[in-house]
Each structure stands twice: as structure tokens, then as C-alpha cells.
Amino acid sequence: MFVGKDQLEIMALLPILQYPDERLHTVAKPVEKVDDRIRQLVKDMAETMYDAPGVGLAATQVDVHERVVVIDVSENGDDLLVLINPEITWYSDEKQVYEEGCLSVSGIYDKVERAAEIKVKALNEKGETFEFHADGLLAVCVQHELDHLDGKVFVEHLSLLKQNRILTRIRKQQREAKKAAEKVMV
């Protein structure tokens, strides 16, 4: 179902797990029942994504290991797509390369090759099944977020050399942030 960020009600910002947190490698379980708890999770995830700001967020990234994704690739942030128990039912043979980033891998961007077009089947926040075709940025975003639900982060599509460089950079940033925090406490 598509709604805009202006239509979201009572919500809470959720903490986003940061790579290399091991919880990002947890495979999400299917949602058993689309109920008020799941609808609240969707609202909270949407607010978190818009606030970050990002164009997609998987429940795994907020340490909820259920198959829920929110996406909004619109220019104005007014076309929220909610995917519950999403599955890609078809991938095109044609590939495309996009420069991807991730709310769980702050400040890191790199090119990833994915299917240029896909077909997706999911439930909306009412528990109704729907299907759609995606290409361009939407196709990239869906594949990226479904990777999260399967316990995979986009940097794992990169060469081992690039993965190691990214880990080194992130660990350095974490050390510098810790030192800065310690100075503030003194």
C-alpha cells in the first residue's frame, strides 16, 4: 500500500543497527499475522527512514527480525511502499549497476550489480496480497532491503578487498567517536 509521510500518525524513531553488528546477519522470520503490532512497527520504521533520511528500511536494521520493509523512492517522500513477507517472484536477465548506500553502513557508497527488473509479491499493512513490477531505483531498493531480511548487507556484494577497507574505515570512525565521547565525559 502506498501512503505519504504526511499521513503517518503516532510513531517513534527506532535505533538503526550499524555494520558490522552481528544482528544484521540474522535471517528474518515471516510475519505470522498482520496486526496492530506490525502496523505500529511499519509506522515507526517509516518515521525512522524519513528522519534518517533514507529511501528504504528493513526491520532487521532496527533489530526486529521479521519480514517487513518500508520504501519510498519518490522525490517528495510521499509514496510509502509497505512490504510484509515480500518475495521476488521474477528477476530479469538484464543487470544494472547502481551506487548504493545504506542506513546501517553510514557514509559508505559503492557500485552494486543487481537485476534491472523484478516482480514482487507481498502483503500490505492490511494483510492483503499484492504484486508489482519494479525497475530502476525501486528495483534496486527492493533487492537491497530483501537482502537485509536474508541477513546480508550490501557491502557483502563487494570484493573482499573493498569489504576489508570498509571495515577498517568503520572501526577507525568508531574509535574516533569513542575518544570524542570520552573527552566530553571528562
- Binding site per annotation, positions for Fe cation: 102, 144, 148
Closest CA to 120 of 135, 137, 132: 132
Asked if 85 and 30 count as a contact pair (C-beta separation under 8 A), the reply is yes
List 56's β-bridge partners, or say none.
Answer: 71
Residue 45 grid cell: 520504521
Candidate list 66, 100, 125, 145, residue with the active-site label = 145
**SS3 of 185, please?**
helix
Distance (Å) of CA 182 to CA 15, 44, 176, 178, 185? 21, 31, 10, 6, 5
Integer Cα distance of 126 and 120 in angstroms: 17
Would you call 145 a catalytic residue per the annotation?
Answer: yes
Would you please indicate which residues are annotated as catalytic (active-site) residues?
Answer: 145
